[in-house]
Chains A and B, each alone.
Chain A
Amino acid sequence: MWQKDCFDLIKSNAPEDKNKGIEILYENNKIKFEGFLFNRGFKKEQIEEILQESFIKIFKSFNTLKDFNTLESWCWRILRNTTNDYLSPIIKGREGIKKLESETEEAALEDNQNDSQSDCVSKGLQEFNLAEPDRGYALQLQLDNYPITEVAIRIGRTPAATKEYLSQIRKKVAPFIEHCLENDE
């Protein structure tokens, strides 16, 4: 169980153990975190920046964590908070969101001429990710049929709430892709 090993190593006073703990935690979470950030429309450099910031926050506040069982959900909470801080109107003056939105719109306009049905759905899904990032990410997790508990940890909800949350995705995503299917009636 990597969570316990990692917890014990980072809590250890030996610098070598601490280093090892940091690397275990990073290795076990980087892909998931990167996927989460990518799904929210961040570019490579932004992903690296947020990832770095999140892990630094995790290690600097590690002393506040008391139980290794909550390690994973605690890390996800920090990642989500860091992401929100990154896009926060106070810090970024909404530049982050606006920039992402404009980039997506520009890309959509450029490709509009040769837009096939699947491309149209793809664009719609990108817009959906921006509007509903947690739902977009939960939908991405459905590809791998993740258990409800795992999805719940990642989006910061209880398993029961997550189940309900997932069931609403179809209705929520529909406005973004309906126009792609109109010609198919």
Chain B
Amino acid sequence: MKKIDLDNAWLQVIQGKSVELIGNRKLILQAKLVRQALIQQRQRFESLKIDDDKVLANIHQACGTTKNKNPIIRQISKWVGILILGSGVVYATKTILHFNEFQETKINTETKNETVLKNDSKGFWGEWFDSKGSFTGFWSKLQLRHYDQPINTANNNCRPDNLVFENCLKLAKENNASAQFNIALMYEKGIQTTQNYDKAYEWYKKSAALGNVEAQFNMNFLIEKNLVNKP
């Protein structure tokens, strides 16, 4: 047998393979003993407890990176981060947001509106026939139901499409939050009146006190921009 074959056979025994080498008992024994020693060596290595966490932490420290946390901590950190970022964004927007659009004023219909009931006929004939004598059955009654709702007929001149300073002022004095916002914006911009930030601030403040969020933002805007001398 060639020498190279002996070497390969020896390695095969190390690998745990069964090899027949007639006349080479010593060689086989040697290989088996080496294999046994290698296995012992492997077992000693496996019993060695390398502190991988410590090593990895040191590597991260030296490289300026951070060790990845476990998923639960990562999730909590993520949500805490989102909350902090979110509150930061809210704070930031709160100080810089400004509303430039006039608001739709809603007038209290119970006290201020003149209402007309369209279907005001009474009695049997009034119930089933209209004033022209036409039959008003079930479906017709359904179609007419909205006639029974009060309709606002007040002359509202404090709407974005129909804005009159005096009218808005009148409504604002009656504690209408939207009208107060509108009058404040008119003071701020100098629309239909002279520009007056202090008065604008006062009206925004009153409107905000009635729960108008936009007024709160605009009030903060005036303070942030140092347009009024308020704390």
Which residues of A line the B interface, CB within 8 A? 15-16, 18-20, 22-23, 26, 30, 34-35, 38-39, 44, 47-48, 51-52, 55-56, 59-60, 117-118, 121-122, 124-126, 139-140, 142-143, 145, 166-171, 173-174, 177, 180-181, 184-185
Contacts and interface: CB of A to CB of B under 8 A. Distances in A.
Interface in B47-67: 48-52, 54-56, 58-60, 62-63, 65-67
A173 B34 contact: yes
Nearest to B58: A52
B113 interface: no
Contacts of A168: 7
22 contacts: A18-B65, A26-B56, A30-B50, A34-B45, A35-B45, A47-B50, A51-B50, A52-B58, A52-B62, A56-B59, A60-B63, A124-B37, A125-B37, A126-B41, A139-B38, A142-B14, A143-B14, A143-B38, A143-B39, A145-B15, A177-B30, A184-B29
Contacts of A44: 48-50
Nearest to B52: A30
A167 B45 contact: no
B62 to A, nearest CB: 5
Chain B contact-residue range equals 35 or more
B7 A48 contact: no
Contacts, number: 125
- With most chain B CB atoms within 10 A of its CB, the pick from A35, A143, A173 is A143
A112 B215 CA distance: 93
Contacts of A170: 6-7, 10-11, 27, 31
Interface of B: 4, 6-8, 10-11, 14-16, 26-27, 29-31, 33-42, 44-45, 48-52, 54-56, 58-60, 62-63, 65-68
Given A48-B54, A142-B14, A181-B26, A39 B6 contact: no
B43 to A, nearest CB: 11
Nearest to B6: A170
Contacts of A56: 59, 62-63
Given A117-B33, A118-B33, A122-B41, A23 B56 contact: yes
Contacts of B41: 39, 122, 125-126, 140
